[in-house]
Amino acid sequence: MAESPEEVAVLVQRVVKDIRNAFQRNPHIDEIGLIPCPEARYNRSPIVLVENKLGVESWCVKFLLPYVHNKLLLYRQRKQWLNKDELIDITCTLLLLNPDFTTAWNVRKELILSGTLNPLKDLHLGKLALTKFPKSPETWIHRRWVLQQLIQENSLPSLVTKGNLGAAPVERIHRLVQEEMNICSEAAGRYPSNYNAWSHRIWVLQHLGKLTVKVLLDELSSTKYWVSMHVSDHSGFHYRQFLLKSLIGRTVTDNNVLVQNQMVNEQNPSLQKEEESAVAEAACAEEQSMDLPRRLEEELELCTELIDTYPGHETLWCHSDETLNNSHHSPATSHMAQAMDVDGLNESSSKQGYTQETKRLKRAPMQDSLGPEMEYRFIDKVLSTCRDVDQARFATAYRKWLLTFLGQ
């Protein structure tokens, strides 16, 4: 085993070269890991490549990590010169072993901005680092920086000229979104309540997905199974709350746009009727695909099912609280109620014929499903049948929340 500084330098240079060669032989490596090996048993490289998995024997880390770390610091202090290829290899090795070393990511930022390093290679490096360190905050931060470079107007055409992404800009963005969603799901599965992964997922929806209704609905559907398998993961359910609130926000925004368009049309009667009809049809189709009250109802049904199946998980009760709160206090729900009032008034020329009972019947699906009465019955059922102490405590707290916060 290497002990002298000269032997350590030779060992590290060989290992760094082996890592570079491994990526050249197989550019589709999708996971890294440490192989428990206290000491070198054979005269061979500590870098093991099996199919798409890259392993590093643990005995060499105590030599490898300090050496590349100090070498990079000497470079930043301008005490030692490294060419661009050496910088790429050293930072790659360092970040695979310690992805929270900010200086290494900053060096790679400089290489990307200078055109030396392909930003897609950094996305791949970050993806590999997250398989071993799924909560690494510096890796997620750098990943967002790289994505910002990719979505800039000047970056997308340059990628086509380099032959990295040959599809149309919209398709490239869609591909990036799907890739980021998969990476976030894998990282969330590797580390419970991985706040950094779910926060990154929200950022991607905001900056790449643009919070379109289709993207939000797809995410609501795709994460349903995940949260059902991770019922104690607060971050996963918080993400679903973000999706629901974003859908509510889109509903309010779309309604405001429709009102503004109607005012403009009244002031400008010369606008073509075909254009008005097309806008109205598009808005109607989007609203029908969203069906916000139904989405909120399905979310409460999911909470009820999971609470019955997995008793004693506070996360599920908190998610039920927030979902019911959204359904009763969202501007979108208020707007729908007002629209139904108008419909009722239009049915009769006098207010006498429009009773509260008629209004209740017209709003029956939303009010019966999302009303507190259903929740009270559910709480009574839980308290009368459950044997779990925590489940009874959470149900009692939920009842108290209904009484105080909703004023029921």
**What pLDDT score was predicted for residue 393?**
94
Separation between Cα atoms, residue 323 and residue 346, nearest integer Å: 32
**What pLDDT score was predicted for residue 353?**
41
Match 């149900």 to its residue by tokens.
Answer: 395
Instruction: Report the SS3 class of residue 31.
Output: strand
Instruction: Report the SS3 class of residue 2.
Output: coil
* Confidence at 312, pLDDT banded by 50, 70, 90: very high
**What pLDDT score was predicted for residue 89?**
95
Tokens linked to 379: 């709480």
Give the rounded percent of residues in the chain with a pLDDT score beyond 90.
60
What phi-psi label fits residue 319: left (phi over 0), alpha (psi between -120 and 50 degrees) or beta? alpha
Separation between Cα atoms, residue 285 and residue 231, nearest integer Å: 34
The predicted-structure confidence for 31-74, as pLDDT tens digits, reads as follows 999 999 988 877 788 999 999 999 999 999 999 999 999 999 99
The predicted-structure confidence for 334-357, as pLDDT tens digits, reads as follows 544 444 333 333 444 343 443 433
Report which of residues 200 and 348 the model is more confident about. Answer: 200
Mean pLDDT of 362-367: 38
Predicted confidence (pLDDT) at residue 155 exceeds the cutoff of 80: no
Report which of residues 404 and 84 the model is more confident about. Answer: 84
Tokens linked to 265: 């049309």
Cβ neighbour number for residue 56 with a 10 Å cutoff: 24
Match 């029956």 to its residue by tokens.
Answer: 364
The predicted-structure confidence for 110-152, as pLDDT tens digits, reads as follows 999 999 999 999 999 999 999 999 999 999 999 999 999 988 8
Burial class from Cβ neighbours inside 10 Å (0-12, 13-18, 19+) for residue 263 reads: exposed
Separation between Cα atoms, residue 330 and residue 245, nearest integer Å: 8
Separation between Cα atoms, residue 84 and residue 68, nearest integer Å: 15
The predicted-structure confidence for 164-190, as pLDDT tens digits, reads as follows 554 557 788 888 999 999 999 999 999
In b/e form, how buried is each residue of 194-204, taking b as 16+ CB within 10 angstroms?
bebbbbbbbbb
**What pLDDT score was predicted for residue 124?**
96
Match 């992404």 to its residue by tokens.
Answer: 165
The predicted-structure confidence for 225-269, as pLDDT tens digits, reads as follows 999 999 999 999 999 999 999 999 887 665 555 455 555 555 565
| Order of all β-strands in the sheet with 31-35 | 31-35, 53-57, 47-50
The predicted-structure confidence for 101-113, as pLDDT tens digits, reads as follows 999 999 999 999 9
Mean pLDDT, the chain, as a whole number? 81
From residue 291, give the alpha-carbon distance in Å to each of 206, 244, 284, 339, 361.
21, 12, 11, 15, 18
Give the rounded percent of residues in the chain with a pLDDT score beyond 70.
75
